[in-house]
């Protein structure tokens, strides 16, 4: 085999006099910046990978809140008749608060389940939970039209000063909270709820406290 053939077989791309460098055409500034861009992209990809892995292990739990296990805030709002609703005065009863907006799609989807839940609780008499819709970002007319079209006759609390939203840290709706008869926050559900599951959850709390 000739020397020229051997050289042809072992010739690397970076030895090819006709090969084009990856950085050819870049300015000196561009050559300095390019490695940093690559490194930044690598960091972002690694971070996303960590999030995907740890999320599966429950690393992010949106149902957690610093309020859980503590006395509920003494929040106030306005009822449909103009009177003041004070959460602190509801001690002695299980209280379920559902944060709601009239045009929220998940709020609309869960509405039928909430009607069933309310009926289930009323059937329990004094042992049933009190249910309140905490309204934000909706006018009275919009809320009244919503309930007229879809049903439901439980108390509506207008969070006109965002006192409830701020006290409970609610940024998005729907969101549901359970407060026990001692005024202690027991559960936060930061998503659409299922009526039967909500009833079962509440019953489990009752039995645990019996």
Band the pLDDT of 174: cuts 50, 70, 90: very high
Q: CB neighbours of 60 closer than 8 A, spacing ≥ 6?
A: 54
Residue 4 located in a structural domain? no
Same domain, 96 and 149: yes
Contact between residue 138 and residue 99 where contact means Cβ atoms under 8 Å apart: no
Query: Is the confidence at residue 58, as pLDDT, over 80?
Result: no
Confidence at residue 30, expressed as pLDDT on a 0 to 100 scale: 52
Q: What does the mean pLDDT of the chain come to?
A: 79
Q: CB neighbours of 186 closer than 8 A, spacing ≥ 6?
A: 68, 69, 178, 179, 180, 205
Same domain, 107 and 184: yes
Q: What pTM did the predictor assign?
A: 0.70
Cα dihedral 199, 89, 72, 173 in deg (nearest 10): 60
Confidence at residue 41, expressed as pLDDT on a 0 to 100 scale: 38
Same domain, 84 and 32: no
Residue 64 located in a structural domain? no
Same domain, 188 and 137: yes
Same domain, 134 and 169: yes
Give the mean model confidence (pLDDT) for residues 109-132: 96
Same domain, 106 and 51: no
Same domain, 22 and 82: no
Same domain, 133 and 193: yes
Strand (E) or helix (H) holding 78: strand 76-79
Confidence at residue 25, expressed as pLDDT on a 0 to 100 scale: 53
Same domain, 37 and 115: no
Same domain, 118 and 189: yes
Strand (E) or helix (H) holding 127: none
Same domain, 85 and 21: no
Residue 194 located in a structural domain? yes
Total structural domains within the chain: 2
Containing structural domain, residue 50: 10-55
Residue 17 located in a structural domain? yes
Helix (H, G, I), strand (E, B) or coil at 144: helix
Band the pLDDT of 140: cuts 50, 70, 90: very high
Helix (H, G, I), strand (E, B) or coil at 129: coil
75-109 pLDDT tens trace: 999 999 999 999 999 999 999 999 999 999 999 99
Give the mean model confidence (pLDDT) for residues 42-46: 36
CA distances, 95 to each of 22, 87, 89 (Å): 66, 9, 11
């Amino acid at each position: 085999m000739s020397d020229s053939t051997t050289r042809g077989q072992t010739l690397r791309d970076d030895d090819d006099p006709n090969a084009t460098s990856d950085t050819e055409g870049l300015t000196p500034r561009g050559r300095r910046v390019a490695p940093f861009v690559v490194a930044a992209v690598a960091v972002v990809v690694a971070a996303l990978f960590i999030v995907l892995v740890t999320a599966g292990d429950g690393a992010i739990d949106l149902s957690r809140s610093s309020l859980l296990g503590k006395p509920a805030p003494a929040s106030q709002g306005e009822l449909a008749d103009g009177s003041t609703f004070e959460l602190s005065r509801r001690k002695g009863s299980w209280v379920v608060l559902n944060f709601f907006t009239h045009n929220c799609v998940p709020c609309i989807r869960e509405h039928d389940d909430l009607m069933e839940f309310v009926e289930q609780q009323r059937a329990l008499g004094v042992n049933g939970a009190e249910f309140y819709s905490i309204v934000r970002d909706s006018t009275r007319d919009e809320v009244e039209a919503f309930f007229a079209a879809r049903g439901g006759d439980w108390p509506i609390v207008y969070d006109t000063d965002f006192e409830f939203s701020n006290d409970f840290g609610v940024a998005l709706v729907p969101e549901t909270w359970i407060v026990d008869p001692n005024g202690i926050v027991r559960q936060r559900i930061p998503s659409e709820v299922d009526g039967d599951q909500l009833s079962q959850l509440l019953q489990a709390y009752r039995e645990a406290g019996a």
